[in-house]
Chains A and B, each alone.
Chain A
């Protein structure tokens, strides 16, 4: 099997799974219970939080364990909006957000919030000047995706953070689900107040994640209850999930340190080969993240190509998995200004640190055959 859909989700690392299993069977007590087993579990949970904080370069009380990216994004956006609606009801985001940000904002519009969706250029980047001029007196939040999940485009987080920092009441949220472990992002230096991470994109488990909440940042909780996680996310702590998340985080950070160059070189190799392939147009810009390549084969149906590759046990995707059930063209590619031919025939390949050059070659060969076969049938 050649799995090239790592932006949709990744294969769980066996070590992560083992940790999850061990914690679930050995340290299963509620960390809030006062008996000694509870004490042990609490200690473990605290260690996990400390380790996460160290890996992300923040304080441990700024780590909120969540159940994943969608939850983190909703918590950050709705939480900031509800908490600070008296300051203002204007939020700035982009046209190329993940649905969990985009739809959360659409939802807030129905409650009377005013949302600015910043357009992007063909490289998938917003204009910092446009962002600057969009900020008004009642702007309370900027929410930007660090690495776009369909295109791999990287947003200028530092510049945005600098602008946000000049407005002390303005919060800055980053969706870093795709960037984690691939494109470094220093939360402190970039003025980030809130940042969403997900476990299953880094070989962790589904249903695990972290929301970074700067210690000065206030958000309104989505879940009320037993006041766990700084009272921002009530609910019995998922200790096994948190431990698994932190373990996956440590492993991916180690990989990033050791193997990021290899990942870039694989991506560049693939990108070059795709550019030289007949009938293929590469949509991902040159300076994108090292693991996502989006390309189109105009005149073909992407679904058919996916199935043809699937027969060879090769798995890639059309647009993001989260929106692939919607028909028609990709919202993200359309936002980038690509024409309809390209936007409806887009395919995405997403690599992991495990992907080998042989796998890439095999994929390229299979893709070429598929395109030829498709064109023969249609003619």
Chain B
């Protein structure tokens, strides 16, 4: 006997009306994509849920992969048996014995197939008794069990599931269009990307690279962060913008207090051009109200003035500690805190304006024509496709 299915419960998308089919198909496709490497694993839709059929694969790595897919509320390992009391008993006992960290359990039987001769209540007791007789160490607690063993007797078969493993919820990536994530390499932007993906957004990323002020390692860090984000969606295109010349020009020409504001405006201008080229409908940033000078209400007003694309700011109302918690949870924190200079830290003015004005910013910009440098930066964009497939650098392959 062994677990042969994973039961997948939908999140919020279960509430959708007529277009629910679109969400379900996208989720199925995302799961299939994610489990590509496991041959013979099948993803099947049934009434209101999905099953992954393991066909002999070890469930652990598959659960670990599925856990990261948005649109999944929770997962459980399941055993499928015939509608036969003895088989059901055996499977329930297996589920209990395989559990860890469990002392108190509860059995809940749902008899959807009314042809099954034993009624739900009675079956509860039959199974509870069977489990207690055949194990030591376990007790029944119907109010606060450590684990609930659910038995669903359906028409075609009976499914026995145990521990409920929470998923991330949200909507399947790909159901909400594309957004361009401004990825600096800090703690916030990957979290913002994660939260956008959680609402079904498919990401591309843009990074401003200023060699030699910022190093190859800073760029690698951004690629690493992107790779970590691919765990939650599919591949991510990362656009690396050569920003050195433009950035130097800004800091030479624009008064110190406004340099940072103008730099941000330039970044948005470049991002907008890229969005247009790539057919992307919005931008996503890790901005967080009041965190630093560029993120005051006044700064956002002035920076945002250069584009009328929607800017998603999933972190806008969060505390730093909440953001850090999420970044630890999704595994980007350790990479984010690596101490490499990025374009935002290298030229920090002594006292950036926290209350810049739109007209002043526009006035300073008008004194110098930046359009050539902007176009040059856009033309020099290097696009790297970061895919979730674990591929070691070939140079290291034969070493390891």
Binding site for B on A (CB under 8 A): 19, 22-23, 34, 36, 39, 42-44, 47-48, 50-51, 54, 57, 61, 161-162, 165-166, 188-189, 191, 243, 246-247, 250
Choice from B61, B103, B216, B400 contacting A19 with Cβ under 8 Å:
B400
B100 in contact with A189 (CB, 8 Å): yes
The interface bits of chain B over 195-224 (1 if a CB of A lies within 8 angstroms of the residue's CB, else 0) are 000000000000000000001110010000
Q: Give the CA-CA distance A162 to B135 in the complex, in Å.
A: 14
B100, B103, B393 interface centre (most CB from chain A within 10 Å): B100
Contacts of B340 in A (CB 8 A): 34
B400 in contact with A188 (CB, 8 Å): no
User: Given contacts A19-B400, A36-B216, is CB(A57)–CB(B100) below 8 Å?
Assistant: no
Give 30 CB contacts A-B under 8 Å. Answer: A22-B399, A34-B215, A36-B215, A36-B216, A36-B217, A39-B215, A39-B216, A39-B217, A43-B220, A43-B393, A43-B396, A44-B396, A44-B399, A48-B400, A50-B390, A51-B392, A51-B400, A54-B390, A57-B60, A57-B61, A61-B334, A161-B100, A162-B100, A165-B100, A188-B60, A189-B60, A191-B101, A243-B400, A247-B399, A250-B400
Minimum CB–CB distance for B242 against chain A, Å: 18
Q: 7 tightest CB-CB pairs across the interface, nearest first?
A: A39-B217, A19-B399, A165-B101, A44-B396, A47-B396, A47-B392, A51-B400
Nearest B-chain residue to A240, judged by Cβ: B399
Q: Give the CA-CA distance A23 to B400 in the complex, in Å.
A: 10
Chain B residues with a Cβ closer than 8 Å to the other chain, count = 18
Nearest A-chain residue to B61, judged by Cβ: A57
Contacts of A34 in B (CB 8 A): 215, 217, 340
Nearest B-chain residue to A230, judged by Cβ: B334
Minimum CB–CB distance for B139 against chain A, Å: 12
Minimum CB–CB distance for A162 against chain B, Å: 7
Choice from A36, A161, A189, A246 contacting B400 with Cβ under 8 Å:
A246
Q: Give the CA-CA distance A19 to B100 in the complex, in Å.
A: 39
Q: How many A-B residue pairs have CB under 8 A?
A: 50
Q: Give the CA-CA distance A36 to B214 in the complex, in Å.
A: 12
User: Given contacts A36-B215, A191-B100, is CB(A243)–CB(B220) below 8 Å?
Assistant: no
Minimum CB–CB distance for B333 against chain A, Å: 10
A166 in contact with B103 (CB, 8 Å): yes
Nearest A-chain residue to B216, judged by Cβ: A36
Q: Give the CA-CA distance A166 to B103 in the complex, in Å.
A: 8
Contacts of A44 in B (CB 8 A): 396, 399
Minimum CB–CB distance for B5 against chain A, Å: 19
Contacts of B215 in A (CB 8 A): 34, 36, 39
A247 in contact with B400 (CB, 8 Å): yes
Minimum CB–CB distance for B308 against chain A, Å: 40
Minimum CB–CB distance for B122 against chain A, Å: 31
Contacts of B61 in A (CB 8 A): 57
Q: Give the CA-CA distance A243 to B395 in the complex, in Å.
A: 13
Minimum CB–CB distance for A193 against chain B, Å: 13
Contacts of A246 in B (CB 8 A): 400
Q: Give the CA-CA distance A319 to B334 in the complex, in Å.
A: 45
Nearest B-chain residue to A46, judged by Cβ: B224
Contacts of A165 in B (CB 8 A): 100-101
A47 in contact with B400 (CB, 8 Å): yes
Q: Give the CA-CA distance A50 to B400 in the complex, in Å.
A: 11
User: Given contacts A19-B399, A19-B400, is CB(A47)–CB(B393) below 8 Å?
Assistant: yes
Contacts of B393 in A (CB 8 A): 43, 47
A23 in contact with B60 (CB, 8 Å): no
Contacts of A19 in B (CB 8 A): 398-400
Nearest A-chain residue to B217, judged by Cβ: A39
15 new A-B pairs (CB below 8 Å) besides A36-B217, A42-B217, A191-B101?
A19-B398, A34-B217, A36-B215, A39-B215, A39-B216, A44-B399, A47-B396, A47-B400, A165-B100, A166-B103, A188-B60, A189-B60, A247-B399, A247-B400, A250-B400
B358-400 residues with Cβ-Cβ distance < 8 A to A are 390, 392-393, 396, 398-400
Choice from A22, A23, A39, A161 contacting B220 with Cβ under 8 Å:
A39
Minimum CB–CB distance for B392 against chain A, Å: 5
Nearest B-chain residue to A36, judged by Cβ: B216
Q: Give the CA-CA distance A188 to B101 in the complex, in Å.
A: 12
B60, B220, B392, B396 interface centre (most CB from chain A within 10 Å): B396
Contacts of B100 in A (CB 8 A): 161-162, 165, 189, 191
Q: Give the CA-CA distance A165 to B147 in the complex, in Å.
A: 15
Minimum CB–CB distance for B391 against chain A, Å: 10
Contacts of B398 in A (CB 8 A): 19
Q: Give the CA-CA distance A130 to B24 in the complex, in Å.
A: 53
Contacts of B220 in A (CB 8 A): 39, 43
Nearest A-chain residue to B99, judged by Cβ: A162
Q: Give the CA-CA distance A42 to B103 in the complex, in Å.
A: 44
Contacts of A42 in B (CB 8 A): 217
Contacts of B103 in A (CB 8 A): 166
Minimum CB–CB distance for A36 against chain B, Å: 6
Nearest A-chain residue to B64, judged by Cβ: A57
Minimum CB–CB distance for B328 against chain A, Å: 10
B399 in contact with A243 (CB, 8 Å): yes
Nearest B-chain residue to A190, judged by Cβ: B100
Q: Give the CA-CA distance A163 to B395 in the complex, in Å.
A: 45
Minimum CB–CB distance for A373 against chain B, Å: 49
Contacts of A22 in B (CB 8 A): 399
Q: Give the CA-CA distance A42 to B392 in the complex, in Å.
A: 14
B217 in contact with A23 (CB, 8 Å): no
Q: Give the CA-CA distance A23 to B398 in the complex, in Å.
A: 11
Minimum CB–CB distance for B63 against chain A, Å: 11
Q: Give the CA-CA distance A250 to B82 in the complex, in Å.
A: 40
Q: Give the CA-CA distance A50 to B334 in the complex, in Å.
A: 14
Minimum CB–CB distance for A160 against chain B, Å: 12
Nearest B-chain residue to A48, judged by Cβ: B400
Contacts of B400 in A (CB 8 A): 19, 47-48, 51, 243, 246-247, 250
Contacts of A48 in B (CB 8 A): 400
Contacts of A57 in B (CB 8 A): 60-61
Minimum CB–CB distance for B250 against chain A, Å: 26
Nearest A-chain residue to B331, judged by Cβ: A59
